[in-house]
Structure 1
Amino acid sequence: MAGKIRVACVGDSITYGDGVPQRHTQGWPGKLQQLLGTGYQVANFGHSGATMLKNGGLPYWKTAEYKAATSFDPNIVIIMLGTNDANPKSWSKLGSQFTADAEEMIRHFAQLKTHPKIYICTPPPLIHANSGISEAMLIRGPISDIYTAGHAMNVPVIPVYAELRRFFKTHGADVYYQADGIHPNAAGQKQIAQLIFQFLQRVP
């Protein structure tokens, strides 16, 4: 893989591709690989259930994928976390720490010897009411704090949430999601990859 630009995709089950057949090629990191082409090596470091919060239910910080993404020596890091943090019960106790934890994650990857370009994404919409995760909380909490952290750290924020909401107004949402309304299906993953790819072209 010498000479290839290495792209680390950091995230939770949405990045991992839970429920997506052939997730390695049909998840958004796999689709992004196809869009970027052979000059890039895109690696999926998603961990199902992971939180941005260091004291959350399953901190990404404590996963093997976090260590693997670090040792991957990436040239580009794309972070998409926050969905699992939008739990009203845990957010009420821990939410005030989210911005600092997001900034620390950005700082962690920024200090790698490869000095990677870092992007942080807002999570995709939740299209059905779910008992454990609240879209209202997602908007008021993690998404708002992701913008705060991105601006504070001078890191581009990829507006996955807003762009998908805009897209769904025209195309509908159900056909792009699995039954739980949380996890995009292969078609939804493709949309995420396309909008991330387009953003990377605009903000290299």
Structure 2
Amino acid sequence: MASRSRTDQGRVASSTMTQRRWMVVAAAVAVLVVGIGAVFLLDRPSEAEKQCDDVTQARDDLLAAADDESAVAVIGDSYSQGTGLAGPDAAWPARLAGLIGAPVAVDGMGSTGFTTAGFCEGDDVTYGDRLADDLPETDVVVVQGGANDATLGDPAGVQQAATDLLADLEDVPTVVVVGPPAVPAADRAAVDTVDRGLRAATEGAGRIYVPLIDADIPLLADGIHPTEAGQARIAELIADALGR
């Protein structure tokens, strides 16, 4: 067989080197693309983080709007934020203020409850945590919640959590605890457990309990948040409990 000429050998060598260079460039580009993709993934917040940011911002907005001269302080969840409606002005605390003729300060944070931090799992934002950070200096405190405990929290632990919270409020003249309605989004047995726990804790502390479980609160299509009529009904029940 005839041997290759030096020219042919040079061409082969040159072609091989060119292929290797392209392979190196391609590998480098692939690494760069993967690296950029990883950066985007790291920078892009997860859905849970976004949900936490949203409910936190809504809470901050409510706190910023609070009147320093408020006669009533509220600790609540998305019900007090007016989720699914036009916002806080459509929520029960704003309606309550109109019914009793007094300003109401709201610390409302969606997805949270007596035993759950909801979307912000790992943060100190349960009702007890928030109360420990900022004890209301009002004559009336309304604590509303329980639906999130039935869906995201520990129903069996609600009674103890509520008992501890009420102990922290022992110097407040009037405390009202508002339980959850029978929300289709939660297991009924879980809602019943939460309702019983809140009732026992509230009555044990000599405070006022407003049950919503049999109050026929109209709900939105999501099966958990009140309609405008539902929010109005909640406000009326609380106002009645306060002896408006």
Please, what TM-score do these two structures have when normalized by structure 2?
0.63
Secondary structure in structure 2 of the residue aligned to 1:144: helix
Q: Is residue 30 of structure 1 aligned with residue 87 of structure 2? A: no
Q: 94, 105, 120: which one pairs with 1:43?
A: 105
Matching residue of 2:58? none
Q: When the two structures are aligned, how many residues end up with a matched partner?
A: 175
Matching residue of 2:182? 125
Encode CA deviations 1:139-183: one digit per residue, 9 max, x unaligned: 1x1101011101211111112223x23xxxxxxx6xx32111210
Identity %: 25
Q: 80, 84, 97: which one pairs with 2:157?
A: 97
Asked whether the 8 Å contact 1:120–1:150 carries over to 2, the reply is yes
Q: Offset of 1:68 from its aligned partner?
A: 9.4
Matching residue of 2:219? 177
Q: Offset of 1:190 from its aligned partner?
A: 0.7
Structure 1: tracts of 5 or more residues without a match:
166-172
Mapping of 1:27-176 within 5 angstroms? 27-37=91-101, 40-53=102-115, 62-63=124-125, 66=130, 70-87=134-151, 94-111=154-171, 115-126=172-183, 128=184, 130=185, 133-139=186-192, 141-162=193-214, 164-165=215-216, 176=218
- Return the structure number with greater relative CO, CA threshold 8 A, min gap 6: 1
CA root-mean-square deviation: 2.8
Matching residue of 2:74? 9
Q: Offset of 1:97 from its aligned partner?
A: 2.5
Return the alpha-carbon distance in structure 2 between the equivalents of residues 118 and 161 of structure 1: 19
Tell me which structure has the larger Cα radius of gyration: 2
Residue 137 of structure 1 aligns with an amino acid whose one-letter code is A
Asked whether the 8 Å contact 1:16–1:27 carries over to 2, the reply is yes
Please, what TM-score do these two structures have when normalized by structure 1?
0.74
